[in-house]
Amino acid sequence: MSKPTVVGITGGSGSGKTLFMKELMQQVPDAALHSMDNYYIEKGKQPKDKSGIENFDTPQSINQNKFAEDLKKLIAGESIELTEYTYNNERDNPNPKKIKIDSSPVILVEGIFVFHQEKVRELLDLKLYIEAPDYLMMKRRIIRDSKERGYDLDDVLYRYEHHVTPAYKQYIEPSKHFADLIIPNHEHFENALKVITAFLNQ
């Protein structure tokens, strides 16, 4: 197999990058997903804010060295195995599933800090930044964390104000100058999806 095409997809929390990635995978059958979401370090080792609350929205929250190592393996044609990260909902997910990812002609690399480290950026052939207004990102984050991850509203709002927003301003939004393409997701991203799909299916 020739060297895979590696596509990095990032953006703020709630920007729609995960939806974009899922729809892209449906239309690019030879794609494998390498998500940074499965590389969060364990809860007891997470950095904490001044109130003693674990902050999952810093680059230090993720084992980025392991993420980069596994990406290199996929690019080299190897398979990797890891445990699905369950966002600390041990009660709802007592037995997180094992994930095996095989190398593929297209590797989609997704996560909020995908552009943060140079050693990851230099492995990406195409870098996409998904952009959305602040109010939409907040709305999507509240819905996702409340319904999908079981967080109560007060917790979601606290984390959005004290963790998510500062991380976006300090790390994520400045990283878009590394992007090859910035994709607005104010209402839809269908046209951009068609262009990227056509390119990757060549």
Which position has the higher pLDDT, 22 or 70? 70
Determine what percent of the chain is predicted with pLDDT higher than 90.
54
Q: Given a cut of 70, is residue 160 above it in pLDDT? A: yes
Full 3-state SS string of the chain:
CCCCEEEEEEECCCCCHHHHHHHHHHHCCCEEEEEHHHHECCHHHCCECCCCCECCCCHHHECHHHHHHHHHHHHCCCCEEEECCCCCCCCCCCCCCEEEECCCCEEEEECCCCCCCHHHHCCCCEEEEEECCHHHHHHHHHHHHHHCCCCCHHHHHHHHHHHHHHHHHHHHHHHHHHCCEEEECCCCCHHHHHHHHHHHCC
pLDDT in tens, 68-99: 999 999 999 999 999 888 765 555 556 778 88
CATH 3.90.79.10 fits 5-200, yes or no: no
pTM of the full predicted structure?
0.87
